[in-house]
Amino acid sequence: MIFSVMAGKRLISFALVGILIAVVSAGPTSRILGGTDAETNQYPYVVSVRVNNAHVCTGTLISNRAAVIAASCVTKAGSTPIEADTVSLRVGSINQYAGGKIVSVSSIVIHPSSGNFLHNIACVFLAEPLEFNEKVSSIALADVDDVVDEGAPVKVTGWGLQHDGASPYKLQQVTMSVLSAAECELQAGYGYDSVICLQHDAGTGVCRGDEGAGVVSGNRLVAVVSFAFGSCGTKYPDVSTKISYYREWLDSLLVSHYSEALFSCHMKAMASARLTIVLIGLWAFSSVGVLAQPTSRIWGGEETGKSDYPYVASVRLDGGHICGGTIIGPKSILTAAHCAEEKGKIVSSDRLVVRVGSTNQFSGGKLAYVSAVTVNPDYSGVKNNLAVLTLVDALEWTERIRSIALATSNDDLPAAGANVVVAGWGEQLESDSAFKLNSYKFSMASEEVCKNAYSALDGSEFCLDHPLKEGSCYGDAGNGAVYNNKLVGVSNFVVVDLPSIAIRFFLISELLTSGRNGMSLLQYLLVLSAVVCVAWATPLGGRVVGGNDAAPGQFPYQISLRRDHSHICGGSIIDKRWVLTAAHCVVIEGTEPFPADRFTVRAGTHNRIAGGIIVNVKRVIVHPGYVVYNDLALLELEEELGYSEYIQPIELAEEEVPAGSDVIISGWGLTEHAGANLPIIMQWYTVSALSKLGCSSKIGFFTDALICLDHPSGAGACNGDSGGPAAYNGKLVGVAGFVVIKCGSTRPDGYAKVAYNVDWIRENMVES
């Protein structure tokens, strides 16, 4: 159901509308404005999305078990969906009221960044696979690099309302044309990379009931209808969500939900083997090198009550469950390091979310966004396999959401034979897809049994024993092991060829007693992840918190750094072929950068999505000393920039900035901590340089490689400003690196000091 809004209003205008959609129940609705009747079997991939047995939206089959729709069709708020058992699909019919078949929905996955009609896309998964025929089949998805040309005709089909409110039952079809992003921005202020705007004649277009409808070009699904401006059929373009932008996310969902279980516990062929589970200290693996499948339950486990395990969390990558986690603080989730790893690299935090407060891995409770992933610095293979996920917002304790106490060095290790409880959503022997949280009581194995099963034990592990065909499996990695109401370990991995397989855990007491600079390792991880919140690059744009609109040409040295065609960070032009930005904007892990061909630079404009020029990046050079300090990277451009009124370099500072001096920062970062405002125009703000002593007293540490910039509460840098410039007397003095606690806090922001690294910068500005 498309709820229209005032024409010309920007993103913020849709906030309340997005919240209302889930609670408004549309009755049987009409047709696309100005459309014509579809023929039987003409569009076998089109489905009617029904909530409480009434049509509310249109969807598109992309496999025999999945359909793609608009997130706003099925959202309660943000990325939290309505209950799956209230949703069904009518397939195989052009009649929204009859014919075909009604199929049940087992789960709903909304894009984790969905909100305010951006990232307005979701997948619904069916309880049973469909049998394809001439009336029911799927359509191919646009590829990641597919481009629909401006002016190209596209076909849209749906059961949306007509101007007069008439309700013909047949599926309607209409042809519209594609607008360029620049033209969409000009006409409607909506020229985002993630959308396709559709031009239509007055009196035609999409309306309520068409939301989620497929936009098809060349027999491929290229977009999903999102919303219409003003009254349906106005002069303004209709907006749809671009499939190519989300293709990798969709692929990951399809694989994680319904791919064949190639690693379905491997135990099915081991009817004669006795299983043991090895545990490694605080961190857990399901299978070495293999991410857990987001299916089923602990082998031989029992379904839990709604509030039996309020500390258990579902860790989700790209929307799908991959591992368990444990709530250890209002903003901290403890899990296994490998759960945040993909192909040997730690994934970006913006791909992770955590579901808390629900025993259903697919729905209910609350989805909490992750702002940072902090991995044990000594993590290697199955050793030190721990990570803390820092949440954007603190959790509120309820009956179903609560932290658990950690075992300390004063707590005795469970005696042999003692019951240790693990709860999770891991795969079951039959590879079914039960969605409820399951718990299992393991038996503490003796040291002798443990060492016989795993000879490489070094004293920091213990083992949990269980009978054949019971215990943890894929999807249980990261689950907490609890004894006497305290967390004593975290699931790590399973071993299949030993007479006594065990899940190996690091003893939490070991972590609490291994110090770094007077802190325990766990405290060290929490400090890195919760106190020093680095302003990581994300696809969310926005503006400096509390900033002012920049005028054209006011900051000719500022650029928008784009990865995969989306703004992620700022940067500064320091030469015709060189841009300086933050290392954390460009690295996969450590100091290893993403391939240069994934980056582009938009220069010569104060508009984040239009104007100026876009130049490809040829090479990325990361500062070899980058950890949290020395957060710098050089970008060599493929071609020289032509200097003009709007494109100019900025001189590198070689001297310290006097304490108390006014410093100008600029960028397209978020307007508030965890906000959703995405103004197009560059923002700027005046901050104040702190002395070394002033910086150390406010954030608890200092290094000569850092410059601290103070600001009032509610102002300063935020996500999307990373890598951006700090200028004093017309010279570049700092590069945006991190914020403390949250954006706009009372603490200063941390910038990499240019003067400290000026020699490294100049030495590396050598063209390849």
Q: Active-site residues: which are they?
A: 584, 631, 722
CB 670 within 8 A of CB 684: no
Q: Report which residue type is found at 370.
A: V
Q: Which 3 state secondary structure label does DSSP give 195?
A: strand
DSSP 41-82: TS-TTEEEEEETTEEEEEEEEEETTEEEE-GGGSEEETTEEP
Instruction: Give 525: exposed, middle or buried? Use CB within 10 Å, 0-12, 13-18, 19+.
Output: buried
CA angle 622, 625, 628 (to 5 degrees): 90
Q: Which helix (H) or strand (E) holds 183?
A: helix 181-188
1 near 73, Cβ under 8 Å? yes
Which uninterrupted H or E stretch holds 312? strand 312-317
3 state DSSP class of 473: coil
Q: What own/partner pairs with CB < 8 Å and gap ≥ 24 does 373-378 have?
A: 373/340, 373/346, 373/347, 373/349, 373/529, 374/525, 374/526, 374/528, 374/529, 375/337, 375/340, 375/346, 376/283, 376/337, 376/521, 376/525
A 10 A CB-CB count for 588 gives 16
3-state SS assignment for residue 559: strand
Task: Please give the C-alpha separations between residue 408 and each of 278, 484, 520, in angstroms, as whole numbers.
Answer: 21, 12, 11
User: Coil, strand or helix: which one is 726?
Assistant: strand
Question: Is residue 48 a contact partner of residue 96, using CB atoms and an 8 Å limit?
Answer: yes
Does an H or E element contain 182, and which?
Answer: helix 181-188
Collapsing DSSP to helix, strand or coil, 429 comes out as coil
Q: First-to-last CA distance in the chain?
A: 54
Q: What are phi and psi of 617, to 5 degrees?
A: -95, 130
What are 300's two structure tokens?
Answer: 């031989």
User: Nearest Cα to 508, choosing from 284, 283, 331, 313?
Assistant: 283
* Cα radius of gyration rounded to whole Å, the chain: 27
Could you tell me the CA-to-CA distances from 763 to 462, 757, 758 in Å, in that order? 51, 10, 9
Could you say which DSSP state residue 274 is in?
P
What the block records as the tokens of 442 is: 């393991």
How far apart are alpha carbons 255 and 251 in whole angstroms?
6
What does the block give as tokens for 17?
Answer: 């509308």
Short-list 640, 664, 634, 737, CA closest to 695? 737
Within 8 A by CB and 6+ apart from 462, the residues are: 279, 413, 414, 444, 445, 450, 489, 504, 505, 507
